[in-house]
Structure 1
Amino acid sequence: MKINGFDYQRVSGVGGVSLNVAVGGSGTPIVLLHGFPQTHLMWRHVATDLAADHTVICPDLRGYGESDKPADDYSKRTMAADIVAVARELGHTTFALAGHDRGALVAFRAGLDHPDVITHLMCLDVLPTLDMWDVMHGTSAAVGFHLFLMAQPPGLAEIMIAASADTFFDHFLTLWAKDSEAIPADVRATYLDACRAAVPSIVADYRASATIDVTHDQEDLAAGNKLRMPTSVIQQDWGAALGFDAQALWRSWATDLHHETTSAGHFMAEESPAEITTAIRALLKR
């Protein structure tokens, strides 16, 4: 499936990796990064709206969708460098960036590593990696069982997930959505097909978030590095549910932060696209 009205092309990222990229509209550029267990298609509603007055770029992250799936190097630093390289190849030296879930972690890293490139930043329904691991403790951590599973050394998680891939990935599409009709059957099938073909790379992406991504966040924290661009965070009220102050955690990383919670489910760009589009437009005016 494709986003209506968007053109598709292969664009080079880092180290010879080629990304599948959808591009539409014209005007100031914004890049939209998808989450798990999805592809760029999750932005189909938001992207077509923003394309009325922006150049909208929607890649499949390395390891996902129709992008290349190298055996390793899934640090968010490398994945963020992919996005900067893609935008540059498309003619954009600066751009706004919004990410959801895994894509939000890539966006977060891009904002820290490339502050002169990212003009505005939005992260949907995540905490920075270092904070995420810190708040996952006790029985409440059961909600993130997949994080611990895919953090294991290579082999076990890949075998277990591949043995029941559709059941595994569909579990999250069902559990995390408050609006069951927001992901129709044909879109769900597209996501499951893509994930089934990408089990090793998806696991490698998550494993990086338990290893090298933590190191990179620790180094930035120690150095006092922060997001300097206008930053917006929209997430479910996980802080109230799990006992932490999400806004305070984010404020420690961003100098110009707008934080809000949503009544939509995790897949908010599909469940409440008008809300997310409005929030992105508000961010771009800051």
Structure 2
Amino acid sequence: MNIIRRVSRQLGAALVLAGALHAAAHAVASPRIEDRSITANGIELHYLEAGHGAGTPVVLLHGYAESSHMWLPLIQQLDDRRVVIAPDLPGAGASGMPETGYDKKAMAQDIHAMVQALGYRKVKLVGHDIGLMVAYAYAAQYPGEVESITLMDAFLPGVGDWQKVWLLRDKWHYNFYGETPLKLVKGRERIYFDHFWNDFAADPKHSMPEADRELYAATYAQPGRMRAGFEYFRAFPQDAQDFAEFAKTPLTMPMLVLTGEKASGTFLINQARLIDTNVQGIIVQGSGHWLMEEAPEQTIPAIVQFVNTPAMKWPLAPR
């Protein structure tokens, strides 16, 4: 058992204890959620898996400063009629840390290889933050294998007027990588991540639960994790080139876009309409960037309804 899994399990008791206080934001993992790993494209990918049934499998892709753990409350709302898979992205959680390949096109290829190795030929994708970029890159490269896609609050590099996105007010961290930043952050990972969990929220006091902050900070503090996370942002120039090329061939599968009223607002919705011909956008009222934590009562039902709606009944009624 590697050190990441040991840290996660050592913190498990604390998470259970805190669960009652944070039930609205993060339920404790159900016993039916399995902790697994698989090697795909030469990378060991850790993932959570639950559910059964004939429904199209759903793949949940987390964002920066989080891991597959963020999806626990949603998994338990989706696993009654299908398999649900929530991988840790390459470099994050308990997954392997390749030296290169952190552009979202390559990461999507890694996730696709995992899906193929698990025996699934068509999926529904849900992605938040960096995860939405990986989800888009997956759908753009394998459109015939994606039944629907949900994008959750961030932006798409290289699409439309992407340099004016709200999140770029904190653009400094996109260039924060290399030897000196790693030395500055070492031992101060919690301080670094609190900046995002607080400043990207509508209300820092109702953002990321404390137990989750402890878990994520401890996980990213393990050797190599911060470097890998920095690489997600270092790859943005390449992502912008790749996405601009992808956007030349619009997607046609149903796409749901969820954004925080106090975060990306209409920006991601407008970007989505440049890359897909079948988009419904929902602005999550009163929420910042951390939709699953800040507004689960709006976010989770919207995703569940979308995922459970057959493609032939799309689009959904306006909200």
TM-score (norm 1): 0.87
* Structure 2 partner of 1:254: 276
What is the alpha-carbon distance in structure 1 between the residues aligned to residue 264 and residue 87 of structure 2?
30
* RMSD over aligned Cα atoms: 2.2
What is the alpha-carbon distance in structure 1 between the residues aligned to residue 86 and residue 141 of structure 2?
20
* Structure 1 partner of 2:65: 37
* Structure 2 partner of 1:135: 164
Q: How much has 1:158 moved relative to structure 2?
A: 2.8
* Stretch deviating more after TM superposition (162-171 or 61-70): 162-171
What is the alpha-carbon distance in structure 2 between the residues aligned to residue 54 and residue 245 of structure 1?
32
Structure 1 residue 276 corresponds to structure 2 residue 291 = no
* Structure 1 partner of 2:216: 191
SS of 2:301's partner is helix
Q: How much has 1:245 moved relative to structure 2?
A: 4.8
SS of 1:129's partner is coil
What is the alpha-carbon distance in structure 2 between the residues aligned to residue 128 and residue 40 of structure 1?
21
Letter of the structure 1 residue corresponding to residue 296 of structure 2: P
Q: How much has 1:133 moved relative to structure 2?
A: 4.4
Q: How much has 1:72 moved relative to structure 2?
A: 1.4
* Alignment counterpart, residue 184 of structure 2, candidates 140, 160, 168: 160
CA contact (8 A) 2:257 2:281 kept: yes
Q: How much has 1:279 moved relative to structure 2?
A: 1.7
What number of residue pairs does the alignment pair up?
Answer: 274
SS of 2:300's partner is helix
What is the alpha-carbon distance in structure 2 between the residues aligned to residue 147 and residue 136 of structure 1?
13
What is the alpha-carbon distance in structure 1 between the residues aligned to residue 162 and residue 183 of structure 2?
24
CA 161–226 in structure 1, closer or farther in 2 if over 3 Å, else same: farther
Residue deviations 1:40-95 (CA, integer Å, cap 9, x gap): 11111111111122211011000001100112111111111121122222221111
CA 48–182 in structure 1, closer or farther in 2 if over 3 Å, else same: farther
Task: Map 1:164-243 onto structure 2 (within 5 A).
Answer: 164-178=188-202, 180-181=205-206, 183-197=208-222, 198-209=225-236, 211-221=237-247, 224-237=248-261, 238=263
Letter of the structure 1 residue corresponding to residue 36 of structure 2: Q
CA contact (8 A) 2:67 2:216 kept: yes
CA 55–204 in structure 1, closer or farther in 2 if over 3 Å, else same: same
What is the alpha-carbon distance in structure 1 between the residues aligned to residue 298 and residue 98 of structure 2?
35
What is the alpha-carbon distance in structure 2 between the residues aligned to residue 188 and residue 134 of structure 1?
29
Q: How much has 1:141 moved relative to structure 2?
A: 4.0
* Structure 1 partner of 2:153: 125
Unaligned residue ranges in structure 1 (runs of 5+): none
SS of 1:172's partner is helix
What is the alpha-carbon distance in structure 1 between the residues aligned to residue 272 and residue 116 of structure 2?
28
Letter of the structure 2 residue corresponding to residue 202 of structure 1: G
Unaligned residue ranges in structure 2 (runs of 5+): 1-11, 13-27, 315-319
CA contact (8 A) 1:97 1:107 kept: yes
Structure 1 residue 11 corresponds to structure 2 residue 38 = yes
Structure 1 residue 146 corresponds to structure 2 residue 146 = no
What is the alpha-carbon distance in structure 2 between the residues aligned to residue 202 and residue 98 of structure 1?
20
Q: How much has 1:260 moved relative to structure 2?
A: 1.7
What is the alpha-carbon distance in structure 2 between the residues aligned to residue 68 and residue 47 of structure 1?
23
Letter of the structure 1 residue corresponding to residue 52 of structure 2: S
CA 65–123 in structure 1, closer or farther in 2 if over 3 Å, else same: same
Residue deviations 1:215-268 (CA, integer Å, cap 9, x gap): 2112224xx21222111111124466xxx8543322111110011211222111
Q: How much has 1:271 moved relative to structure 2?
A: 2.5
Letter of the structure 2 residue corresponding to residue 22 of structure 1: L
